[in-house]
Amino acid sequence: MTADVVVVGGGSTGVGVVRDVAMRGFSAVLVERADLAQGTSGRFHGLLHSGGRYVVSDPESARECAEESAIVARIHADAVERTGGYFVTGPDDDPGFADRFLAGAAASGVPAREIGVAEALRTEPRLNPKIQRAIEVHDGTVDGWQLVWGAANSAKAHGAQILTYHRVTRIESREGRVATVVCTDRKKDEEVRIECGFVLNCAGPWAGQVAAAAGCQPVEVVPGRGIMIAMNHRLVNRVINRCIYPDDGDILVPVHTVSIIGTTDVRADDPDRLAIPRDEVRRMLDAGEILIPGFRQARALHAWAGARPLIKDTRVSASDTRHMSRGMAVIDHSERDGIGGLLTIGGGKLTTYRLMAEHIVDEMCRQLGESRPCTTASEAVPGSEGGRNYAVTHRLGDREADRLDDQILCECELVSRSMFERALNEQPTGSLDDLRRQLRVGMGPCQGGFCSVRAAGVAVDGGHVDATRGSELLGGFLKNRWIGLWPILYGDQVRQTALDNWILRGTLDVDHLPGAEAGAEVAA
C-alpha cells in the first residue's frame, strides 16, 4: 500500500488531520489500533467549550475554544446540542472570581453575560438556591463519536482510507526520512506495510510510544487522567460550571439523556491503565451536591476515565497536569531527532480538533514546499449539511414516525431494530461495543441489561453472525459495561445491577454460552 501521508491515531485529532490532508488533495491513510474514538475522544466530558473555563487560567485556549466551538457547531451540526451554559458561584465560593471571569471573557473574546440568580433558578430549577452569582455563556454539548465518525466520513468522501484495528508497530526511515509505516492488522493478524512520504503522529496520550516506534527521543506527553460519572437523568439542560479557578468536579454536562459530572486531573503513568479510585468518585458526588442539592439521589450509572494528551510544559511541575497549558503543540522530528517527514501533535481539546489539524497540516505543507490552503472550516461533514443541531428529543421524533413499523431495541436510548441492522451491515466485523459508540445502544439507565441480549439476538436472527459469535459479542459488550459499573456500586445502582446480573447470569447463564470465554476479551 502507498500514500502521500499516513496519519496515526483515530481520535478527534487524527480524523481531523486526515480530513484536512485529503481535502488539500493528498492521498492519505489513517491507521487506528482499535475502533475510531476508542481512546480519549470517546472518554471525555462531552463539553463543547465556549472558552469560559479558561478565561482566567489560559486565555489563549479560551480564545481558540470560542472561535472553534462556533465552527464545530456549524460543520458538525448533527453532533452538537446548543445547550448554552452557566458559570455559577457556589455558596462558599469567592464571589469576586466572577469579576475576574467577566474581565477575562471580555479580553479573550468569549461571549459572557451576568444574569440574575432568580433567572438562573427559573431556567434551571434544580440548581442550588444558595448560588451567589450566575454568568451565561455559549457552552454546548458534543457527541465525540458522532463528531469523529462525521470527520472520518468526510475524509473518506475526499478519497482517504481509514484502517481501524491496525496498530502501528514500527516506522522505518530511509536516508533520514520516514519511508514505511508497519502495522498489524489485528483482525487478520497480518502485517501491513504502507510506503509514504510523511507521517503525522496524532496518537494522543500514546504519541510518545508512536514517536519511539520511529526511533525518536521520548516525546514527553503527560497523560492527565480524569474520571467522569454519568447520572441517570438529565438533571440540567444547560452545562453548569462552578465559577472558580478550574478544579475537580466543577462541571455538569447534560449529554443526551444523562448528565455527566467531572472531572479530576491526576498524572497517569500508562494511558492503557486508568484507575477510577473510590475517593475520586466520592469527590465527584460531593461536588455534584454543591451544584444540585440532592445530586446523590440520582443514580450513578457508569464511570470512566480518560487521559489528556498534555505536552510537558516547563512552566509547571511535571506532575501538575491540572495547570499545564491546554494549548496545542506540534513537534518537528527533523529538527529534534534528525528524522524528516515526521510531525507529532499533542495538547489541545476535542473542541479545537479542527484547528489542531490545520496547524499540523500547514506545517507539513510548509516542509513540502506546497501551498495548499485549509478549507475544513467552511465545509460541513456528511450528515450535517442541513446545519441543524440536535435536541435531546430528536430520537423521540424519529420513533414517533416509525413506531408502528419498527421494533425498539434499546428503550433508554430509543434505538430501533432497523438502526441497529443498518449499522451491522455497514460494519459486519464490528463488535457490539463498536456499534454502541455510534448508536448509544446500552448507554442509558439499564446499561445494556435488557438491550444487549436483544442486540445479540438480532445479529444472529438476521444471519449476520452465528450463535457462537453472537455469544462472543454479548460477552465482550457486558465485560466492557462492567468495567464502568464496579466503581459506582452503591445505592439504587446495586439494585439495578443485581437485576441485570440475575437476567444475564441467573436466567441466561451468559458466562457458559459457547464462545463466552473469547467474548470476554476487551478490545483496546
Ligand X SMILES: Cc1cc2nc3c(=O)[nH]c(=O)nc-3n(C[C@H](O)[C@H](O)[C@H](O)COP(=O)(O)OP(=O)(O)OC[C@H]3O[C@@H](n4cnc5c(N)ncnc54)[C@H](O)[C@@H]3O)c2cc1C
**Closer CB to ligand X, 308 or 395, in the complex:** 308
> Rounded to a whole number, what is the largest CA-CA distance in the chain?
68
Residue 147 or 455: which CB sits closer to ligand X? 147
CB of 14 to ligand X, least distance (A): 5
Cβ proximity of 258 and 231 under 8 Å: yes
Under the criterion CB under 6 A, does residue 322 sit at the interface with ligand X? no
Of 30-38, 238-246, 399-407, 507-515, the window that binds ligand X (rule: CB under 6 A) is 30-38
Which one among 39, 327, 430, 515 touches ligand X, defined by CB under 6 A? 39
Distance between CA 200 and CA 206 in Å, rounded?
Answer: 13
- Please tell me what DSSP assigns to residue 7: E
Strands 28-31 and 2-8: parallel
- Cα–Cα distance between 469 and 476 in angstroms, integer? 10
Q: Which of 241, 351, 431, 496 binds ligand X (CB under 6 A)?
A: 351
Taken as a whole, the chain contains a residue count of 524
Q: Which residue is nearest to ligand X (CB)?
A: 11
With CB under 6 A as the contact rule, the residue among 201, 232, 259, 263 that binds ligand X is 263
Q: Is 520 helix (H, G, I), strand (E, B) or coil?
A: coil
Helices (H), 143-213: 144-157, 207-213
DSSP state, residue 299: P
Antiparallel, parallel or unpaired: β 177-185 and 190-201: antiparallel
Choose between 267 and 464: whose C-beta lies nearer to ligand X. Answer: 267
C-alpha cell at 455: 442486540
Q: Does 171 bind ligand X (CB under 6 A)?
A: no
Residue 1's nearest CA partner among 111, 214, 187, 163 is 163
Collect all residues with Cβ–Cβ distance below 8 Å to 431 and sequence separation of at least 6: 35, 473, 476, 477, 523
348 in contact with ligand X (CB under 6 A): yes
Peptide bond into 263 cis (omega under 30): yes
> Which region among 25-33, 85-93, 109-117, 428-436 touches ligand X (by CB under 6 A)?
25-33
The answer to whether 306 contacts ligand X (rule: CB under 6 A) is yes
Q: Which of 6, 20, 32, 241 binds ligand X (CB under 6 A)?
A: 32
384 binds ligand X (CB under 6 A): no
Which of 7, 22, 23, 31 contacts ligand X by CB under 6 A? 31
Instruction: Give burial (CB, 10 Å; 0-12/13-18/19+) of 125.
Output: exposed
Listed in sequence order, the residues at least 6 apart from 198 whose beta carbon sits closer than 8 Å to its beta carbon are 4, 5, 6, 178, 341, 342, 343, 364, 368
242 forms part of the interface with ligand X (CB under 6 A) = no
Pick the binder of ligand X from 202, 329, 330, 473 (CB under 6 A).
202
Among 3, 5, 7, 8, binds ligand X (CB under 6 A): 8
Binding segment for ligand X (CB under 6 A), chosen from 44-52, 106-114, 465-473, 477-485, is 44-52
> Residues 183, 194: contact at Cβ < 8 Å?
yes
Nearer to ligand X, 352 or 471 (CB): 352
Q: Does 208 bind ligand X (CB under 6 A)?
A: no
Choose the binding region for ligand X from 116-124, 190-198, 346-354, 438-446 (rule: CB under 6 A): 346-354
- Applying CB under 6 A, which of residues 21, 26, 44, 219 lies at the interface with ligand X? 44
Using the rule CB under 6 A, is 33 a contact of ligand X?
Answer: yes
Q: Compute the least distance from the CB of residue 62 to ligand X, in Å.
A: 12
274 or 456: whose CB is closer to ligand X? Answer: 274
Instruction: Please state the closest distance from residue 145 (CB atom) to ligand X, in A.
Output: 11
Single out the residue of 306, 241, 232 nearest to residue 47, CA to CA.
241
Residue 451 and residue 441: Cα distance in Å, rounded? 7
What is the smallest separation between the CB atom of 253 and ligand X, expressed in angstroms? 7
User: Which stretch in 300-308, 427-435, 439-447, 500-508 sits in contact with ligand X by CB under 6 A?
Assistant: 300-308
- Which helix (H) or strand (E) covers residue 115, if one does? strand 112-115
11 binds ligand X per the rule CB under 6 A: yes
**DSSP state, 219?**
P
Chain residues in the site for ligand X (CB under 6 A): 8-14, 31-34, 38-41, 44-47, 49, 167-168, 202-206, 210, 226, 228, 263, 306-309, 348-351
